[in-house]
């Protein structure tokens, strides 16, 4: 059931992304997207610390980039 749910979520995400009705945004129209608050991680040190703590106190990790372990936290 869980695996089915996982695959369903993957399929949903792919369909969502593929089906996005994107506007033809020209390069000179991307000023808002370039704002700091529109970045995936506007405060990098904050993001790293939060991921670090959650990874240490929970059983899940990954999904956000080149996660790779490098720890002894079982």
Partner 1 sequence: MAGRDPHPSLLALTSSALLLPAYQQANADAPPEFTTLGMSYSRYQEDDTQAGRTLGGDSIERYEIDVAQFYLLTPVSDDWSVALDVQWEDMSGASPWFVGLDADGGSKVFMSGASIEDTRTTVSVNTRYYFDRGNAGFTYTRSDEDDYESDAVAFDGAYNSADGLTTWSAAVSASFDDIEPTQGVTPTNTLEDSKDVFGGYLGVSRIISKRAILRFGLSYTYRNGFLTDPYKLQDSRPSTRKEWAVSSGYRHFFTGPNAALHVDYRYFDDDWGIASHTVDLAWWQNLGRKTQLVPFLRYYTQDEADFFSNTPDFSERYFADDFRLSAFGGITTGLRVRHTVGNWTLNATGERYTTSEDFGIYSGDESPALVKYWRYSIGFNYSFR
- Work out how close the CB of 68 gets to partner 1 at its nearest, in angstroms, rounded to a whole number: 3
- Phi and psi at 45, nearest 5°, equal -65, -40
55's CB contacts (< 8 A; 6+ apart) are 61, 71, 73
Tokens for 8, please give them.
Answer: 């369903």
Note whether 4 binds partner 1 by CB under 8 A. Answer: no
Give the contact letters, 55-74, x = binds to partner 1 (CB under 8 A), - = no.
xxxxxxxxxxxxxxxxxxxx
Q: Which residues bind partner 1 (CB under 8 A)?
A: 2-3, 5-6, 9-10, 13-14, 16-17, 20-25, 27, 29-30, 32-33, 35, 37-49, 51-74
């Amino acid at each position: 059931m869980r695996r089915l749910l996982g695959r369903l979520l993957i399929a949903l995400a792919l369909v969502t992304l593929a089906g996005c009705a994107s506007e033809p945004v020209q390069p000179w129209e991307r000023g808002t997207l370039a704002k700091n608050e529109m970045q995936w991680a506007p405060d990098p040190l904050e993001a790293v610390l939060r991921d670090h703590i959650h990874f240490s106190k929970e059983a899940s990790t990954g999904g956000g980039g080149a996660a790779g372990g490098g720890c002894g936290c079982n």
